[in-house]
Amino acid sequence: MPELPEVETVCQALKPVLEGQSFREVQLNREGLRYPFTKDLSDNLTRSSITQVTRRAKYLLIHFEHGQTLVWHLGMSGCIIIESSINIPQEVGRHDHVLLTTSTNIRITYRDPRRFGFLMIKPSDQIQNLSPFNTLGPEPLDELALTGNIFHASLSRRATPLKNALLDQNLIAGLGNIYVSEALWRAKLSPLRLANTLSVNEASLLLREIRNVLKEAIAAGGSTLRDHKQPDGNIGYFQHSFKVYNRHSKKCGHCNKALIIKIVQSGRSTYYCPYCQK
DNA sequence: AGATGAGCCTGAAGGC
DNA sequence: TGCCTTCAGGCTCATC
């Protein structure tokens, strides 16, 4: 699924299509996804225009003039497709669960085979105080909110392996299984290293590499493994730049001799070079 | 506090 | 070809 770069790609694509517009039609093809759709969902989506489309962590936020915000999470396998609704046969795929049509006849399709995603309406002015937003960590790309020193202080409070600490959305928001492995490899830090053993310099380096990998992935339109596509139907290209993710038994690109290994941490696969990453 | 496993789902891939 | 098992980008909850 979509980690931060994939959600950001979707957000950037939706902005020009939705901001200042409104939905004239909402079609819900099932009772709900991860959570049941609330009764007021359709009404709230159609009765006011959209002021802004933003992203927080892996959540897409569509803000409406009437003071409500659509909180949209793409789960593990969700993708959003944007297309003109004119001259397109209304072909609805098995996993096309939500169809939104704008007043300008753009159709937004939400496709999610595994149905771990969700859509819910929340009051815009209270979102910051509601779960999960009230405990989310800082945005990794926000250089004002997150400095090397702040990041180091957060890590120093955690006696858990770096891999687990970086996946914790309350420590830093938006990283997922792929980009954690990639960032740790770039920083030459072992995923097994305890978070509270990093020096300020190491934490700063790690933060820099997290930013680098995220920015490069956003520029490439995200990563396409199975489900993610850019909303225009193109695939993202960053998967071609993976250095460790899904590359077990292949040579490490740093040392060019050790082989990447795959381990399991907290039930999730981790890939790293045991020689370079300390 | 942190680790682990289960659960929510479908589909792709690999082994036999 | 077909059946079976395993695994997958996330998140939450219960339990130890």
Chain B, protein-covered positions (CB within 7 A)? 1-6, 8-12
Taking the C1' atom of every nucleotide in all shown strands and the CA of A1, the nearest one is C9
What pLDDT sits at residue A88?
66
Give the separation between CA A253 and CA A18, rounded to whole angstroms.
Answer: 42
β-strand pairing of A261-265 with A79-84: unpaired
CA A139, C1' B6: Å apart? 30
Do the Cβ atoms of A1 and A59 come closer than 8 Å? no
CA A97, C1' B9: Å apart? 14
Residue A266: alpha-carbon gap to chain centroid: 20
What pLDDT sits at residue A87?
65
> CA of A116: how far to CAs of A34, A75, A159, A211, in Å?
5, 5, 30, 27
Q: What is the mean pLDDT of each run of 10 residues along chain A (278 residues)?
A: 91 96 97 95 97 97 98 95 78 93 95 95 95 95 96 95 96 96 97 96 97 96 77 83 92 95 93 96
A240: CB within 7 A of chain B nucleic strand: no
CA A147, C1' C3: Å apart? 54
Chain C, protein-covered positions (CB within 7 A)? 7-12
Catalytic residue set of A:
2-3, 58, 268
Residues contacting nucleic strand C by the 7 Å CB criterion are A 1-3, 6, 34, 57-58, 73, 75-77, 114, 116, 131-132, 169, 176-178, 222-228, 236, 268-269
What pLDDT sits at residue A1?
55
Does this model's pTM top 0.85? My answer is yes
A268: CB within 7 A of chain B nucleic strand: no
